[in-house]
Structure 1
Amino acid sequence: MPDTPHITVHPVTAKGGRPVTAHTHGTDAPLGTAYGLRDVVEFARRAGLHDPESLVEQDSPMIVWTGAARTPGPERPRGGCPAAGGSARSRVSP
């Protein structure tokens, strides 16, 4: 049985985001932390999934949601101070 590439959105961490990993060729690689659906779309795009917006909207099996509901959590402002609701992790600008 072939190994199907997909991304996994893991349960919410204590800091409020959901870790996202890409699974391909039998291994998992971290993509970052999702704080909203737009982050999941961006990580799916980086992982090389075709039409990531549709995959998220249509609840595709290529995006595996673990833990609670499929929504990563409240959207947070990009960049800035984590204490002010920003993210300390690096992001690629659209």
Structure 2
Amino acid sequence: MASVKPVVVYPPAADGGRRVRVDDQFLGIAYGPLDIAEFLRRAGIEDADEAYVAATGLIEWRGGGPGAWAADRDGDSA
């Protein structure tokens, strides 16, 4: 069985994007669960999809879980 390294998803930035890394490798900036699923597919987890991203214990979510994407934007809606 192959060793699987944890995926770390960092808190949302001002633009809502979240840095994603595996071990010491930066995978990219995700703007939603589908972006993370694509990063995981490129890393070899072929069955990764939005449901997988929300449910897997492989991901360490920092600064909010799979539903936290926008930075606090008080006053955006009038």
Give the TM-score normalised by structure 2.
0.69
Please give the alpha-carbon distance, in whole angstroms, between the structure 2 residues aligned to 1:21 and 1:41. Answer: 13
8 Å contact kept, 2:16–2:31 = yes
Which position in structure 1 is the counterpart of 2:52?
55
Please give the alpha-carbon distance, in whole angstroms, between the structure 2 residues aligned to 1:52 and 1:22. Answer: 15
What one-letter code is carried by the residue in structure 2 that aligns with 1:42? E
Please show how residues 68-87 of structure 1 align to structure 2 within 5 Å.
68-73=64-69
Q: What RMSD in Å do the two structures reach over aligned CA positions?
A: 2.0
How many matched pairs? 67
Which position in structure 1 is the counterpart of 2:29?
33
Structure 2 residue ranges without an equivalent (≥5): 71-78
Which runs of structure 1 show a deviation greater than 4 angstroms over 4 or more consecutive aligned residues? none
- Partner of 1:8, secondary structure, is strand
Structure 1 residue ranges without an equivalent (≥5): 75-94
What one-letter code is carried by the residue in structure 2 that aligns with 1:56? V
How far residue 22 of structure 1 moved from its aligned partner, in angstroms, is 1.2
Identical counterparts, % of pairs: 37
Task: Select the structure with the greater relative contact order (CA < 8 A; seq sep ≥ 6).
Answer: 2
